[in-house]
Chains A and B, each alone.
Chain A
């Protein structure tokens, strides 16, 4: 397939994943803000902007943090080139560019979601409408992935789409965890001390993992359990281990189709060997923050190698 199409397919799914993760982050923050006092709520909204790496841009135009201003900035502000609205525009433009390597069902799922979102995000989003907006974004992701699963050839285009999805998802989970890593620190010095369960509930909600975590841990929230779950548990589809495994299988499939391995496969093998040999104690010993930064850097290096190996750019 054309390198440009591979590029469009890869970014279409990265942006789709990013839009979905951003929506979850907003949803979880709103829930958190509703249950806390004003000062804590402000801190929550500040951390949403920080997690998304938008602090400088946001503060250029705003003198404080509150829910409606933050979510409108994140969802639809024209001054924010990384708004969900802009991201969805990028999803659709990439889908248009990759039109001949995605199925009609995938295209229509993207196009219909975009039409809905573009309409609803044309005006400021009230608290009452926020739930609808988030639901549309989540449903868009589900519809597109469902259409991919049920209608796309398992060819190169499919695997570039998956690569985009899991590169983005792994990075997103790592960033969300990293934003709250310091909350885990006191718990290490005081064995058995209870965490601020509201904070951790929010982190788990941001990655759609609250229910899954409860099932696995019978409701006990502790530092070890959370890191184990979000980093190492390869049964949870948003954990770092899951994303890395899925990415590895997709890169293996691409290498098999091309009859040769590239730089991305070598980096992948290295990264997997590393995460596979670690347990929770090792991670805390290295430092969770350092570990997560290392993950994000390797993830980015793999993404660059994919772009290079498969000639995405002229």
Chain B
């Protein structure tokens, strides 16, 4: 590991400072790394892929011909966060998640924040994720988003920003868990030298948290405990591995729409002993497919009548239908106001500066500076439908300009951040690559729990800022050091 690797980059590097000295977080790791033989590391690097394939940690990609199972590339160099850094982040994340839930409650009730003039009514009126059927209804415990992923990026020692809120159905938590398992299997000695906070109790916490969200008095399971089930679209869904993994680790049933039916006013699953009620449904099926009677009538993934049972207080659906509005990038742009409105505090974690192209002045600015900005679709995700000005071709910029002018309200723009880098392991040794971080948050009436760590996504191509797995990004194990 040489300082030279860092000198060409101007962004914040997680491992080294500008003089090439190892930062505090990585000191123990780098000591260990110096003692490793390159040949052995190269072998382990190859082994990691085999481990993921064998255990079936894959995602499905559907091409023209037939389905293909791919691995998300895994990098053996961990991303490390100190205990002090994590405490600061945790406070900011907790504040933001509290605000998200208050905002969702308000959106489906009196809309005080609109009355107070802090956000415009048009923001949700024209948003397809906003569900009129949820108006006036309060989910059990008043909780809308039970499982949240907050995407963070870093630009300096104390500069973390929220890039996106994933309040609908954040995915990837199985990678957080399996990345750690793989690292521990490959480098047991490393974990005896560096004290790292465990992530492995996430499934237990998730099970407890979901059970605590059951409707009042609902405990259909053995020993008077609520019955929890994970709803998956099925084995051909790209994230099926994660659905099965979480259900298995929680000891919950893994159900498909065809297993479920509304019987005697309850959502019940077909077991070998007949239909049995479910109290909490952790659904990994989108709102529009949840109930063909209420939403998309063509859906075969959902359960006819489940929304009626839900509105009658007969089941908890996590996350609540209608939560997806918080993933909208136009709403994101109001998050600093939203946090302040509901918590009465200044946001601890700032947003990335965002221009709403719906505003005429902002649009003019964005159009004048397209080659320096990142422009995103308001409803887009997965790194699709975005323009990265500085790396785009002239033609791409021109095409995007037309789209922007045609429907400016569909876009927001942000400055091109110089995301922090963290080294990845390559054949030629360590090489810096841009990373982000998605910590996972659980919300129940018992409080908010944040697992120390999360999923670090890394852009494997040199200089690339796109970390999404659908666009060739990889992942790293993420460590929070013990004090």
| Same assembly | yes
Q: Is the CB of B269 within 8 A of A2?
A: yes
Name which of B49-57, B312-320, B427-435 contacts chain A: B49-57
**A interface, size bucket:** 20 to 34
Cβ 8 A contact of B248, one of A6, A100, A115, A258: A100
Assess whether A111 is interfacial by the CB under 8 Å rule: yes
Contact B253 A100 (CB under 8 A): yes
A224 in the interface (beta carbon within 8 A): no
On chain B, the number of residues with a Cβ less than 8 Å from chain A's Cβ atoms is: 22
Known: A100-B244, A314-B258. A3 touches B54 (CB 8 A): no
> If A93-B235, A108-B55, A111-B56 touch, does A4 touch B244 (CB 8 Å cutoff)?
no
Residues of B246-281 at the interface with A, using a CB-CB cut-off of 8 Å, are: 247-248, 252-256, 258-259, 269-274
- On chain B, the residues within 8 Å of A3 by CB distance are 259, 270-272
Asked if A97 and B247 sit within 8 Å, CB to CB, the answer is no
Contact between B235 and A100, CB atoms less than 8 A apart: no
Does B240 have its Cβ within 8 Å of any Cβ on chain A? yes
A197 CB within 8 Å of chain B: no
In the bound complex, residues from chain A placing their C-beta under 8 Å from that of B248 are: 99-100
A90-111 interface bits toward B, Cβ cutoff 8 Å, 1 = contact, 0 = none: 0001001101100010011001
Chain A residues positioned under 8 Å from B247 (CB to CB)? 100
In the bound complex, what is the Cα–Cα distance between A258 and B240 (angstroms)?
30
CB distance from A14 to the nearest CB of B (A): 17
Q: Is the CB of A258 within 8 A of B273?
A: yes
Closest to A93 in B: B235
Across the interface, do A96 and B270 meet the contact criterion of CB distance under 8 Å?
Answer: no
Contact partner, B244, options A1, A93, A99, Cβ 8 Å = A99
Check A111–B54 contact: CB distance below 8 A.
yes
A-chain residues with CB within 8 Å of residue B256 when the two chains form the complex: 4
Within the assembled complex, what's the spacing in Å between the Cα atoms of A257 and B197?
A: 42
The answer to whether A156 has its CB under 8 Å from any CB of chain B is yes
Which of chain A's residues has its CB closest to B270's CB? A3
A67-B274 Cα distance, complex, nearest whole Å: 49
Contacts of B53 in A (CB 8 A): 115
Instruction: Answer whether residue A112 sits at the interface, using C-beta atoms and an 8 A cutoff.
Output: yes
**B53 nearest in chain A by CB position:** A115
**Within the complex, which residue of B54, B56, B258, B271 is in contact with A1, where a contact is CB–CB below 8 Å?**
B271
A181 within 8 Å of B by Cβ? no
Given contacts A107-B56, A115-B53, contact A99 B254 (CB under 8 A): yes
- Given the known A-B contacts A96-B244, A99-B248, are A314 and B270 also in contact in the complex, defined by CB atoms under 8 Å? yes
Given the interface contacts A2-B253, A4-B256, A111-B55, does A96 sit within 8 Å of B235 by beta carbon? yes
Give which listed residue, B55, B56, B258, B274, contacts A311 with CB less than 8 A: B274
Query: Quick one: closest B residue to A110, CB to CB?
Result: B56
Known contacts A4-B270, A107-B56; A97 and B235 CB within 8 A of each other: yes
Q: What residues of chain A lie closer than 8 Å to B235, measured between beta carbons? A: 93, 96-97
Q: Do A4 and B258 touch (CB < 8 A)?
A: yes
Mostly helix, strand, loop or mixed at chain A's interface? helix
A2–B55 CB distance below 8 A: no
Find the residue from B253, B255, B270 having the highest chain A CB count within 10 A.
B270
Residues in A1-50 with C-beta less than 8 Å from chain B? 1-6
Contacts A2-B253, A2-B259, A97-B235: A104 and B55 contacting too (C-beta < 8 A)? yes
Complex Cα distance A93/B244, Å? 13
Q: Which residues of B contact A112 (CB under 8 A)?
A: 54
A4 with B56: CB separation less than 8 A: no
Distance (Å) between the CB of A83 and the closest chain B CB? 15
Q: How far is the CA of A143 from the CA of B347 in the complex (A)?
A: 56
Contact (Cβ within 8 A) A258 B254: no
Q: Does A284 contact B (CB under 8 A)?
A: no
Closest to A3 in B: B270
CB-defined contacts of B240 to chain A, threshold 8 Å:
96
Report the bound CA distance from A100 to B241 in whole Å: 11
| A236 lies within 8 A of chain B by Cβ | no
| Chain B, range 341-384, C-beta contacts under 8 Å to A | none
Distance between B222 CB and nearest chain A CB, rounded to angstroms: 13
Of A96, A99, A156, which contacts B272 at CB under 8 A?
A: A156
Shortest CB–CB separation between residue B282 and chain A, in angstroms?
13
Residues on B with beta carbons closer than 8 Å to the beta carbon of A96: 56, 235, 240, 244
A236-275 vs B: 1/0 string, CB under 8 Å? Answer: 0000000000000000000000100000000000000000
Q: Is A291 an interface residue (CB 8 A)?
A: no
Q: For the complex, what is the distance from the CA of A156 to the CA of B272, rounded to whole Å?
A: 9
CA distance A290 to B333 in the complex (A): 78
Cα distance A175–B55 when bound, in Å?
A: 36
Could you tell me the distance between the alpha carbons of A2 and B230 in the complex, rounded to whole angstroms? 12
A107 partner residues in chain B, CB cutoff 8 A: 55-56
**Distance in angstroms between the alpha carbons of A1 and B252 in the assembled complex:** 11
Chain A residues in 8 Å Cβ range of B273: 258, 311
Give the CA-CA distance A112 to B254 in the complex, in Å: 23
| Cβ A2 vs Cβ B271 within 8 A | yes
Interface of chain B residues 128 through 162 with chain A (CB within 8 A)? none
CA distance A17 to B282 in the complex (A): 35
Cα-based distance from A4 to B55 in the complex (angstroms):
23
State in angstroms the CA–CA spacing of A258 and B272 once bound together. 9
What is the CA–CA distance of A111 and B241 in the complex, to the nearest angstrom? 13
List which A99-136 residues lie within 8 A (CB) of chain B: 99-100, 104, 107-108, 111-112, 115
Instruction: Give the chain B neighbours of A311 by CB distance below 8 A.
Output: 270-274
Taking each of A1, A5, A99, A311, which has the highest tally of chain B beta carbons within 10 Å of its own beta carbon?
A: A99
Q: How close is A129's CB to chain B, nearest CB, in angstroms?
A: 22
Q: Are A1 and B254 in contact (CB under 8 A)?
A: no
Chain A residues whose C-beta falls within 8 Å of the C-beta of B255 in the assembled complex: 2
Would you mind naming 30 contact pairs between A and B with Cβ atoms under 8 Å apart?
A: A1-B271, A2-B254, A2-B255, A2-B259, A2-B271, A2-B272, A3-B270, A4-B259, A4-B270, A5-B254, A6-B272, A96-B56, A96-B240, A96-B244, A97-B235, A100-B252, A100-B253, A104-B55, A107-B55, A111-B54, A111-B55, A115-B53, A115-B54, A156-B272, A258-B273, A311-B270, A311-B271, A311-B272, A311-B273, A314-B258
- B residues contacting A by CB (< 8 A) are 53-56, 235, 240, 244, 247-248, 252-256, 258-259, 269-274
The 4 A-B pairs with the shortest beta carbon distances in the complex, nearest first, are A99-B244, A310-B272, A100-B248, A3-B270
- Given A3-B270, A100-B254; 20 other pairs, CB 8 A cutoff: A1-B272, A2-B255, A3-B259, A3-B271, A4-B256, A4-B270, A5-B254, A96-B56, A100-B247, A100-B252, A104-B55, A108-B54, A108-B55, A108-B56, A111-B56, A112-B54, A156-B272, A258-B272, A258-B273, A311-B271
Instruction: List A residues at the B interface (Cβ < 8 Å).
Output: 1-6, 93, 96-97, 99-100, 104, 107-108, 111-112, 115, 156, 258, 310-311, 314
